[in-house]
Structure 1
Amino acid sequence: AFYTVDLWMRGGVTLAVATLTVLAVLAWRNGRTYCNTICPVGTVLGFFARFAWLKPVIDTSKCNGCGLCARNCKAACIDSKNHSIDYSRCVDCMECLAKCHRGAISYSVLRPVRKENPVKPATCKVDADASRRQFLGATATVAVAAVANAREKTVDGGLAAITDKKIPSRHTRIVPPGAVSLRNMASHCTACQLCVSVCPNGVLRPSADLLTLMQPESSYERGYCRPECTKCSEVCPAGAIRPISVADKSSVQIGHAVWVRENCIPLTDGVECGNCARHCPVGAITMVASDPSVEGSRKIPVVNTERCIGCGACENLCPSRPFSAIYVEGHEVHRTI
């Protein structure tokens, strides 16, 4: 009997997982396939939707067939080629109205389509020429913008290519000053995202770790934690980030900088840099000769971990791409220096 119950439970779990997987694939590929096709509630609502008075209507005189409405339709009910909408599947989410840049879709009464007189050949030629000019003009605009964008991202002062920085692999995640410790943050934070929304430098972002899902953590690809900013500690309602003054923040060590020799520009490209030392707000980085026995050798940074507060200025402003030559490793428990 125990074996039968265990087998039944395993079968039920397997069936549930398989069903969830199928629904996830359908939702990812076709939007609301389950709601429109399988769910009995959606089927009944779709039946009555056919007789609705107000519906999304496509104006064929304005539509250029770009297909933007169909691509953004979660119910997959728009046929942009034939300018038709399957109202039995439409849920009136109005996404198509917001996405159409030509105002070709409106929420109004569906009127019967009248047959119009055939268009004269001369008119067809004019419309074709106008469409061709419009297409060539749009293509030229896109090409010019792409070239300009590529040219802007070519070099950064002649030192390194401007590409988006990647997040380094940290052994310990970083939480802002006032959080006290990782344990305090994990036990008090409600993931309300208030601190993330008020961070002016783009340092705080929701965690993707399952153990701390949606709780804030610091990362320095878009900015660094400026010593004069205490906004996150001012808005936290749960005590996960406790109120802290500007003076106290400058003496709180949330992490320490780590230098990566393989990424440092003076050694890889043979040019002087020192960006990390120049912008360190607490003077924790010193530039020293890479080889004291060789006169005129390139200077490399040396980090005073006792003085570093982990603000991330060095990591953010390092010109090395895609990974910085210096990054911040977090501390489980913050300390005052």
Structure 2
Amino acid sequence: GAMLVGAAAMKAADKTADGGLAKLENKIPPKRIRPVLPPGAVSIEHFTTHCTACQLCVTACPTQILRPSTSLSRLMKPESVYENGYCRPECTRCGDVCPAGAIHPLTVERKSSTQIGHAVWIANLCFPVAKGVRCGNCARHCPVGAISMVPYNRPDGQPVYVPAVDTERCIGCGACEYVCPSRPQSAIYVDGNEVQRMV
């Protein structure tokens, strides 16, 4: 009996959680032109100058999107990654705990309208273009309504709907990058702002 239970457990471990329709892989971070810094960091220059790499914001982040940078110019100073979560507009924890003034404290209202970056779409990775299937996860989960689905003709002539990003409205929270089903890299990702701004 124990052998049968063990064999069944091993067979179940071979299956993917989605019923075997697609191979489940961890996401890899995109190659961003500029890092995505925490809201309230003001600018790359301000943040790099004032951050002491104390890691308090990394520890306080409830969605665990802040990670120490491996870049030599910002070594161990936090930046946002969206493989396992996104920056929730109602959260202000990083600015609340920063002791050095590298991340200014923001109210929820200011935080939810501070643009830390903007979404960038990669057509050839997007499921509607690459596979001819409907998706729209990014548009459905955008907390500020900065993504809409627009008509697009694939190279084979098949009409599909793809995301269009309103970069003036996007705040760079990373919800789109996080929920994108494309693997190993998201078909939409956030590139950071040199200077953060209000939208």
TM-score by length of structure 2 reads 0.91
Partner of 1:264: 126
1:318 is aligned, of 164, 176, 180, to 180
Q: Which structure features the higher share of strand residues?
A: 2
CA distance in 2, matches of 1:330, 1:166: 17
Letter in 2 for 1:288: V
CA distance in 2, matches of 1:158, 1:266: 20
User: Which is higher, the Rg of structure 1 or of structure 2?
Assistant: 1
The alignment partner of 1:314 has SS state of helix
Taking a change above 3 Å as real, the CA distance of residues 198 and 146 of structure 1, as seen in their structure-2 partners, is farther
Partner of 2:12: 148
* Aligned: 1:174 with 2:36: yes
The alignment partner of 1:278 has SS state of helix
- 1:329 is displaced (CA, Å) by 0.6
Q: Which structure features the higher share of helix residues?
A: 1
Q: Percent identity?
A: 59
- 1:151 is displaced (CA, Å) by 1.3
Q: Contact 1:159–1:319 (CA<8 Å) still a contact in 2?
A: no
Name the Cα RMSD after superposition: 2.5
Question: What is the correspondence of 1:52-71 to structure 2 with a 5 Å cutoff?
Answer: none
1:299 is aligned, of 161, 175, 179, to 161
Partner of 1:288: 150
Q: Deviations over 1:61-92 (max 9, x none)?
A: xxxxxxxxxxxxxxxxxxxxxxxxxxxxxxxx
2:91 is aligned, of 209, 229, 238, to 229
Partner of 2:191: 329
Q: Contact 2:147–2:166 (CA<8 Å) still a contact in 1?
A: yes
CA distance in 2, matches of 1:230, 1:148: 41
- 1:198 is displaced (CA, Å) by 1.2
CA distance in 2, matches of 1:157, 1:289: 30
TM-score by length of structure 1 reads 0.55
* Aligned: 1:276 with 2:138: yes
The alignment partner of 1:162 has SS state of coil
- 1:150 is displaced (CA, Å) by 3.2
Q: Deviations over 1:177-232 (max 9, x none)?
A: 01111111111111111111111112100111122111100010010001011111
Taking a change above 3 Å as real, the CA distance of residues 206 and 291 of structure 1, as seen in their structure-2 partners, is same
Which 5+ residue runs of structure 2 have no aligned equivalent? none
Question: What is the correspondence of 1:1-337 to structure 2 with a 5 Å cutoff?
Answer: 146-153=10-17, 156=18, 160-291=22-153, 297-337=159-199
| Count of residue pairs brought into register by the alignment | 198
Higher relative contact order (CA 8 A, sep 6+): 2
Taking a change above 3 Å as real, the CA distance of residues 284 and 183 of structure 1, as seen in their structure-2 partners, is same
